[in-house]
A = this chain, B = another copy of it.
Amino acid sequence: MTPSHREATITARDVAERLGAELHGDGDRPIEGVGSLAHAGPHDLAFLADSKRARDAEGTKAGALLVPADAELSTDAVLLKVKNPRVAFAQAVAWFHPQVRPAAGVHPTAVVDPSATLGADVHVGPYVVVGARSKVGARAVLHPHVTVYEDVEVGAESVLHAQCVVREGTHLGARCVIQPGAVVGSDGFGYEITPEGTWMYVPQVGRALLGDDVDLGANACIDRGAIDDTVIGEGTKIDNLAQVAHNCTIGAHSMLCGQAGLAGSAHLGHHVVVGGQTGVAGHLTIGDGAQVAGSSGVMNDLEGGKQYGGAPAREFRVAAAIHVGIQRLPDIMKQLKTMEKRLQALEDGAA
């Protein structure tokens, strides 16, 4: 992983200075890239997140290691002590692998409606379609085959990957990153049963409004609102194949992991984390800072600031006790059988 974009040699000392790390070892060692503990080479920077797991770093061939301030380990690597090795390493990755924005310009095959407006220095790739009255902010990137319907706003510097679809009236904030195949603003699943037993479609006339710095995973789906809008707060991150139904609201800096799903009108606060494959029923509220483990099922309101798990999701301590109980069920049944016999014996004796 040799970055080609810089010419001067970077040393462990340079890295330490840049990341505000305390240097222990040979500051002149050249560092050319980043790597994992397992695969980093003698000119790579790797990291150890937790000093309790120092053992994981022994045997690494990394040339330099970002470690917590209290880490003690015997290694040939140059040690760079920092407060938060994860964040420092993320900064290093971004430094060694700067993201290259495609060149500004509109590909001749793009079909941009004359009433649409494109900001300065946008990149519009082959076969992109931009509908009437839509506005694409400055320096935004639309990869091949992106379809933007009418009356959409795409914020500045947002990146829309190939094949993603933004339906009419949707707003995306600035610096959003939408992975391939994601759909924003699809019609909500709104039907009423008629007296004849058929499903009557209720036109979905709300919008999908995404704040700044919202990221969506590949093939994730965000429905537009039925009457009110579906709203996703700034900085919230949503993983692959996750589903956000109509009229959901999610606060800022929350996170939905892979294949998680919110039913209609679920309301999540800010800094909420929903684990992978977890389902959230409709018309309920999850408070700020709540964290729900993966594979859970949220069926009631959850208070903020706590950790939850299980189905129905309960506070983690309770969920853990229930889990223990579930695992012990075969023993419980045996125990009951024995106690039954002992009771019978006592009753026979007492008779």
Q: For the complex, give the distance between the alpha carbons of A93 and B322 in Å.
A: 46
Oligomeric state, in copies: 3
Residues of B near A38 (CB, < 8 A) are 228
Q: For the complex, give the distance between the alpha carbons of A276 and B129 in Å.
A: 32
Which residues in chain A, 276-294, are within 8 Å of chain B measured between CB atoms?
276-277, 279, 281, 294
Residues of B near A120 (CB, < 8 A) are none
Q: For the complex, give the distance between the alpha carbons of A335 and B343 in Å.
A: 12
A302 within 8 A of B: no
Given A181-B165, A189-B217, A333-B332; A243-B245 close (CB under 8 Å): no
Contact with B along A154-174 (1 / 0, CB 8 A): 000000011101010000000
Q: Which of A8-16, A23-31, A134-142, A196-204 participates in binding chain B?
A: A196-204
> Is B322 within 8 A of A240, CB to CB?
no
Residues of B near A261 (CB, < 8 A) are 241, 258-259, 276-277
> Is B343 within 8 A of A339, CB to CB?
yes
Q: Which of A64-72, A73-81, A218-226 participates in binding chain B?
A: A218-226
Contact with B along A192-216 (1 / 0, CB 8 A): 1011011111110100000001010
> Is A205 within 8 A of B93, CB to CB?
yes
Residues of B near A194 (CB, < 8 A) are 87
Which residue of B is nearest A44, CB measured? Answer: B227
Size of the A side of the interface (Cβ < 8 Å), in residues, is: 111
Residues of B near A277 (CB, < 8 A) are 261, 277, 279, 297
Partner of A97, one of B87, B195, B205, B241: B205
> Is B205 within 8 A of A34, CB to CB?
yes
> Is B312 within 8 A of A323, CB to CB?
yes
A32 within 8 A of B: no
A235 within 8 A of B: yes
> Is B350 within 8 A of A346, CB to CB?
yes
Given A181-B219, A325-B332; A227-B34 close (CB under 8 Å): yes
> Is A127 within 8 A of B145, CB to CB?
yes
A4 within 8 A of B: no
Q: For the complex, give the distance between the alpha carbons of A181 and B198 in Å.
A: 25
Q: For the complex, give the distance between the alpha carbons of A42 and B123 in Å.
A: 44
Q: For the complex, give the distance between the alpha carbons of A335 and B341 in Å.
A: 13
Residues of B near A330 (CB, < 8 A) are 318, 321-322, 324-325
- Shortest Cβ distance from A216 into chain B, in angstroms? 10
Q: For the complex, give the distance between the alpha carbons of A122 and B324 in Å.
A: 57
Which residue of B is nearest A99, CB measured? Answer: B203
> Is A279 within 8 A of B279, CB to CB?
no
Given A147-B162, A294-B279; A87-B189 close (CB under 8 Å): no
Q: For the complex, give the distance between the alpha carbons of A269 and B147 in Å.
A: 37
> Is B221 within 8 A of A217, CB to CB?
yes
A349 within 8 A of B: yes
Residues of B near A153 (CB, < 8 A) are none
> Is A219 within 8 A of B219, CB to CB?
yes
A7 within 8 A of B: no
The 7 A-B residue pairs with the shortest CB-CB distance in the complex, in nearest-first order = A325-B329, A165-B180, A186-B218, A147-B162, A295-B297, A321-B330, A183-B218
Give 23 pairs: A residue, B residue, CB < 8 Å, sorted on A.
A86-B192, A87-B192, A87-B194, A87-B200, A97-B203, A127-B127, A143-B147, A163-B183, A165-B218, A177-B201, A189-B237, A189-B257, A219-B219, A221-B241, A240-B245, A243-B276, A245-B258, A277-B279, A279-B294, A325-B330, A332-B333, A332-B336, A335-B336
